[in-house]
Chain A
Amino acid sequence: MYKMSNKLRLSAIIFMVVGVIGIAYGFLNAPSSKADAKEILEHKAAHGDSHAEEGNTHQVSEDNAHGSEHADEAHGDEHLEHAYHQMQNRPWSAVMVPMLFFFLIAVGALVFYAIQNVSQAGWSPVLFRVMQGISNYMLPGAILIYLFLILSSLHLNHLFVWMDPETVAHDEVIQEKTPYLNIPFFLIRSAVILLAWVGFRKILVSNSVKQDDELNLSLYKKNIKLSIAFLVTFIVTEAVVSWDWIMSIDTHWYSTLFPWFVFASMFVSAITTIALVTVYLKSKGYLEQVNDSHIHDLAKFMFAFSIFWTYLWFSQFMLIWYANMPEEVVYFVSRLENYKLMFFGIVAINFVGPLLILMNSDFKRINWLVVLTGILILVGHYFNFFLLIMPGTVGESWAIGIPEIGSVLFFLGLFIWFVFKGISKLSLVPKHSPFLKESQHYHY
């Protein structure tokens, strides 16, 4: 049995407390009225902030073209309104990015577990409890996400434009989409999906735990069937989740391979997290049956799925760049204009880094190199989620400051807390798993 060390417990609590303070600071510092927003903009302009200045000159030149004082005023108002909403959205989006990121990591760990079950993998049973433990974060994560979605639909923020009836009234494109994008249906969809995921998790893990006590293959067979059902459900619902929670932020834009892209990102992060937790537990002497070959296999998965993510990233980018259709390309124009370094930086971090480090077969067995690459991948994919959400909610008013760091710390602390609590509730060796012996002697 694993017992969460006091050090880990304390650092998780510190992360959460500091995170809450950071999040609170973000909400308190967001402008509560247009006047506040104006003050912030002027303050920025006075400090020679390039964003604000750019905005101003742009405004002037356009107004000159119109040649009317009235338009100048109206446009200034519009600009202020726009910036005001972006600034208000910032603390909300800052919370949303890590909230989704860590939740999807937990789900991805369960998906990986289900795949191992279905494929009857011989190498992984000694890691099952790590995967199940990571998926323990799913329940609190799902509750937080649902609360967040309810708050959004109560118009406490402007993350989802289509939720704002005034905007929809003037927007024919969104009107066409209201049969799908309306608040009741949206909340029902999310509730059903979250319940299904958490439910599958509960049954899969409890069957696996029951199997520890009885020598009974029927539970094992049941878990295989359940895993198949979960994987089929997951791949459909994951697409819905990507459309609802992420793609609907950019309501005017759509892309076909988007759900796959989100899946690749969450899956490589989940595998990386499994590897990191495994290396941690092993270094504490808990997983003595895990050897370098298991780490090697996880590192191979990290390597392969990093490349898979890049493949989808590039496929989505290149198809849209090549055809350059205005209604599609705005998505990337807004990212390239305001997030250029991050946009290409994540390709370097998530592709070139793992590619060059994990290509060598020997390196995949060196634990500290796997951990280093793992941290690189997790940071990179946090920024991938950042880029999925931020440009549509805060646009050019983005920054990486106290609200962002605070919410990452909060969810990191929460994640650590529930993951290691989850692992400490299970015995680390899944007894009576049919492939356990093979897994213990696994050697690559």
Chain B
Amino acid sequence: MANYTLQALYEDDDHLMKAVKETRSGNHHIEEVYTPFPVHGLDKAAGLKPTRMAITSFMYGVLGLGVAIWMMNFMMIDDWPRNIGGKPSFSYIQNMPAFVPIMFELTVFFAAHLMVITFYMRSKIWPFKKAENPDPRTTDDHFLMEVSAEKNNVQSVAEFLHATGAKEVTLKQS
């Protein structure tokens, strides 16, 4: 079955928000929304699940803390416990204050960088990636909502989208 996608173009984020809400309550499926800037509350209006990025970040932070503790315990205490300026290197806890700056930085480092990489992977962004832009105007001052439709109701969905205040509605067949 061929898929039909209707692209409705809006000039204003207020119109877009209203249209998203109406489309959802009209039981049409929103494929994707393209905006030039973050529209506050759009994710809730479109019914997206909250992100779990913060949770991954926390786990990466714990990992970083673990790496820092393991690394310094191995290097400074287990492998070659030298007397450096009288600092007690008999056990990790005795010399811990000196390790805290590194423990802190590695926690932040792991939490930040691994979270960013996770974000890139989850949102499929990388250098030389071909831009998936349906209409270059959406990077400047227009808003675009893609709604899927069946062959037999394309016309009615298009009319519905016009009624929500769309400036243009175009049909994209894939």
Contacts and interface: CB of A to CB of B under 8 A. Distances in A.
A binds B: yes
Contact of A359 (B58, B86, B98, B100): B58
A314 B100 contact: yes
Chain A residues touching B, range: under 10
B115 to A, nearest CB: 14
B51 to A, nearest CB: 11
B54 A318 contact: no
Given A359-B58, A361-B54, A321 B97 contact: yes
B99 to A, nearest CB: 10
A317 B58 CA distance: 27
Contacts of B54: 361
Q: Is the interface of A mostly helix, strand, loop or mixed?
A: helix
Interface string B76-94: 0000000000100000000
Interface in A281-329: 314, 317-318, 321-322, 324
A299 to B, nearest CB: 16
A322 B100 contact: no
Given A359-B58, A361-B54, A322 B97 contact: yes
A324 B86 contact: yes
A318 B86 contact: no
Interface residues of B, number: 6
A322 B98 CA distance: 7
A314 B96 CA distance: 12
B86 A317 contact: no
Nearest to B87: A322
Interface string A351-362: 000000001010
A318 B58 contact: no
Interface string A48-85: 00000000000000000000000000000000000000
Contacts of A317: 97
A363 to B, nearest CB: 12
Contacts of A359: 58
A359 B111 CA distance: 14
A172 B10 CA distance: 81
Contacts of A361: 54
Contacts of B98: 318, 322
Q: Most chain-A CB neighbours within 10 Å: which of B86, B97, B98?
A: B97
A344 B86 CA distance: 23
A384 to B, nearest CB: 18
B113 to A, nearest CB: 19
B98 to A, nearest CB: 7
A309 to B, nearest CB: 15
B125 to A, nearest CB: 25
A359 B100 CA distance: 20
A254 B105 CA distance: 29
Nearest to A320: B97
Nearest to A311: B104
A318 B97 CA distance: 6
Contacts of B86: 324
A276 B58 CA distance: 28
A318 B100 CA distance: 9
A39 to B, nearest CB: 40
8 closest Cβ contacts across the A-B interface? A318-B97, A321-B97, A322-B98, A314-B100, A318-B100, A322-B97, A317-B97, A359-B58
12 contacts: A314-B97, A314-B100, A317-B97, A318-B97, A318-B98, A318-B100, A321-B97, A322-B97, A322-B98, A324-B86, A359-B58, A361-B54
Given A322-B97, A324-B86, A361-B54, 8 more contacts: A314-B97, A317-B97, A318-B97, A318-B98, A318-B100, A321-B97, A322-B98, A359-B58
